[in-house]
């Protein structure tokens, strides 16, 4: 029996099961932006759009010398600066750390490694200004981990929220929660295939050498098809002697941070994520 974190999460899941007509990538992207505009805005703070290392970014300025380079989720196909503006503001306000949100190139127009190359360009730019951490949610977390592995600059932390950490989806949770729990795996597999092409060409964080990777915060959701890849990645970090704080939020669904205005349980889970981020990044 599935136990949801609260009644609002259950309603959100049930609403997500209502099927609509197939949509184009352009329509999906517009829908993602439209939903973001309906959510409450994040904390007020100085923010500016600029170009860093040749990549469009949005900088949420805070007093800390550390910069968190943040990669948004969206299955490598959706998402952008506007869809994750509120989350980046919450992270910046909680940590007092300047967050640099990256508008990396998306599939299918720009397959792997375009997103990782963009992340590395921004990390290199930020490293010229002070200490750098990297983070992301969902597919953005995958980009963050690959960028951390390739980065010549030392990184202070990796902050991963509901992360996708294996594009093969070869875990039990992908089967158990892959339909009817907000993240539809058949569609998601298509998006990932558009980005990754032949999956074996993309480095797998569950297999590659983790030596030298920075300390991690990994927060997963119990009812998320991506949960088990997060569990395995956290275990691998521990095996390599890398400090990793790992937690699974019970009764929670993928990317609960987008529904903090609908669910008290999601808001509480988001607050725990922010508290743990503060502990690691400062």
User: Could you read off the pLDDT of 7-33 as tens digits, one per residue?
Assistant: 999 999 999 998 888 899 999 999 999
pLDDT at 122 over 70: yes
Could you identify the residue written with the tokens 């998306």? 106
148-152 contact pairs (CB < 8 A, 24+): 148/213, 148/214, 149/203, 149/205, 149/208, 149/210, 149/213, 150/116, 150/120, 151/120, 151/123, 151/124, 152/124
Q: What's the rounded mean pLDDT across residues 36-55?
A: 96
Instruction: Name the token pair of 197.
Output: 């092409």
Instruction: Name the token pair of 157.
Output: 């932390």
State phi, psi for 205 to the nearest 5 degrees.
Answer: -60, -20
Q: DSSP readout, 66-95?
A: -EEEEE--STTTS--TTTTHHHHHHHHHHH
Query: Catalytic one among 103, 224, 228, 270?
Result: 224
CA–CA separation, 131 and 127 (whole Å): 6
Q: Where are the domains of the chain?
A: 7-15+24-281
The per-residue pLDDT of the chain, averaged, comes to 96
pTM of the model: 0.97
User: Has 261 been annotated as catalytic?
Assistant: yes
Q: What's the rounded mean pLDDT across residues 74-94?
A: 98
- Class of the CATH-defined domain 7-15+24-281: alpha beta
pLDDT at 77 over 90: yes
Residue 282 binned pLDDT confidence (cut-offs 50, 70, 90):
confident
* Angle, helices 139-150/114-127, rounded to nearest 10 degrees: 60
> Parallel, antiparallel, or unpaired for β 244-249 and 98-102?
unpaired
CA–CA separation, 242 and 102 (whole Å): 26
Q: Which pLDDT tens digit goes with each residue over 191-230?
A: 999 999 866 689 999 999 999 999 999 999 999 999 999 9
pLDDT at 155 over 90: yes
User: Has 224 been annotated as catalytic?
Assistant: yes
What secondary structure letter does DSSP report for 258?
G
State phi, psi for 181 to the nearest 5 degrees.
Answer: -125, 40
| CA pseudo-torsion sign 265, 9, 74, 48 | negative
Q: What's the rounded mean pLDDT across residues 99-110?
A: 98
Query: Catalytic one among 32, 138, 257, 263?
Result: 138
Q: In what order do the strands lie in the sheet with 67-71?
A: 47-52, 55-60, 98-102, 67-71, 132-137, 158-161, 216-221, 244-249
């Amino acid at each position: 029996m599935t136990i949801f974190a609260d009644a609002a999460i259950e309603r959100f899941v049930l609403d997500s099961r209502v099927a609509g007509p197939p949509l184009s990538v352009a329509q999906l992207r517009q829908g993602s932006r439209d939903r973001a505009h309906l959510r409450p805005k994040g904390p007020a703070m100085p923010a500016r759009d600029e170009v860093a290392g040749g990549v469009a970014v949005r900088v949420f300025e805070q007093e800390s010398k550390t910069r968190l380079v943040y990669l948004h989720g969206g299955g490598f196909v959706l998402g952008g600066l506007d869809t994750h503006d509120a989350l980046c503001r919450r992270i910046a306000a909680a940590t007092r750390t300047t967050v640099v949100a990256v508008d990396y190139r998306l599939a299918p127009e720009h397959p792997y490694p375009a997103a990782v190359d963009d992340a590395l360009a921004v990390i290199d730019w930020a490293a010229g200004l002070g200490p750098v951490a990297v983070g992301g949610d969902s597919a953005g977390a995958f980009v963050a981990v690959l960028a951390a592995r390739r980065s010549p600059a030392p990184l202070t932390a990796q902050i991963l929220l509901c992360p996708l950490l294996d594009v093969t989806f070869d875990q039990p949770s992908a089967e158990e929660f892959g339909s009817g729990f907000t993240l539809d795996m058949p569609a998601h597999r298509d998006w990932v295939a558009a980005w990754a092409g032949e999956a074996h060409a993309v480095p797998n964080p569950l297999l590659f050498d983790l030596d030298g990777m920075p300390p991690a915060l990994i927060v997963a959701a119990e009812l998320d098809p991506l949960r088990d890849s997060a569990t395995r990645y956290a275990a691998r970090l521990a095996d390599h002697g890398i400090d990793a704080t790992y937690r699974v939020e019970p009764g929670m669904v993928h990317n609960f941070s987008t529904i903090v205005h609908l669910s008290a349980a999601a808001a509480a889970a988001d607050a725990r994520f922010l508290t743990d981020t503060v502990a690691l990044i400062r």
